Amino acid sequence: MAASCSTIVFIMTVFALATSISATEYIVGDQNGWSLDFDYQTWTKDKVFYVGDKLVFNYAPGVHNVMKVDGTAFQQCITSSSNGTLTSGRDIITLQTPGRKWYICGFGKHCELRNMKLAITVQAMSPAPSPSTSSTLSVSTTYGFVVALFSGLPLFLV
């Protein structure tokens, strides 16, 4: 029984490792960063966000911030002290749950008048890449790693 539990824990650990390897880091706004008068809605159009991906907000500290808000606060650009306000100038948010996510700048009227607001939808899991994608090397390396680990261990299946 202990051997099968160890095998299950091992498989779950390998799965978590493979999932973390496939996570994508998005620089919000690309080279523009988190800035005034940028069209974040257009920026998100060709992107699919998954649990485990990271959003990186780059901006000048003391000039902007990042606030996670709900849908109503996003639409109305409402800020409150209960929001988790990030202020480092390089804030990294790991997307941990699927669903809609909303972020605004809480400085002045940056959200209301200068378009500093980002809304995304996070998907539950990243699909397995097709063999024709550029990620084939990392996926096959990950699976090669898993095969190498399994080949040296006896499997106890119940």
Task: Tell me the domain boundaries of the chain.
Answer: 1-22+135-158, 24-127
Residue 70 DSSP SS3: coil
Residue 135 vs residues 127, 132, 150: alpha-carbon distances, Å: 12, 8, 23
Q: Worst-scoring range by mean pLDDT, 9-13, 19-23, 34-38?
A: 9-13
Superfamily of the domain at 24-127? Cupredoxins -  blue copper proteins (2.60.40.420)
Exposed, middle or buried: residue 50 (CB in 10 Å: 0-12, 13-18, 19+)? middle
Give the mean model confidence (pLDDT) for residues 57-86: 91
pTM: 0.68
